[in-house]
Amino acid sequence: MYTTRNEDGILNNYPSEPVMYFAEFPSSEQQQTYVTQGAIAVLLITFTFLMALAASY
């Protein structure tokens, strides 16, 4: 485990910060995957709602 020590000998005085990086824009293939997942999610929610509506009658 990594610890930091200040001049008074106190451990973990400040947290170690992770290296920053910029996110990359998703590729066309990833975007298509997100669209497919969104469409499946919409169909699932719609089906669930319609089944609940049908069961209530």
- The verdict on residue 20 lying in a domain is no
The pTM assigned to this predicted structure is 0.60
How far apart are the C-alpha atoms of 15 and 31, rounded to whole Å? 36
- Which has more pLDDT, 51 or 10? 51
Q: What is the DSSP string of the chain?
A: ----B-TT--BTSSPPPPPP-PPPPPPHHHHHHHHHHHHHHHHHHHHHHHHHHHHT-
- The verdict on residue 13 lying in a domain is no
Instruction: From 22, 23, 5, select the one nearest 14 (Cα to Cα).
Output: 5
Question: In this predicted structure, what is the pLDDT of residue 18?
Answer: 86
- Which has more pLDDT, 5 or 53? 53
- Which has more pLDDT, 7 or 56? 56
Question: In this predicted structure, what is the pLDDT of residue 1?
Answer: 54
Q: In which domain, by residue range, is 44 found? A: 29-57
Residues 15-44: pLDDT tens digits?
778 899 999 999 999 999 999 999 999 999
Q: Which token pair is 29?
A: 């293939």
- The verdict on residue 44 lying in a domain is yes
Q: How many domains does the chain have?
A: 1
- The verdict on residue 15 lying in a domain is no
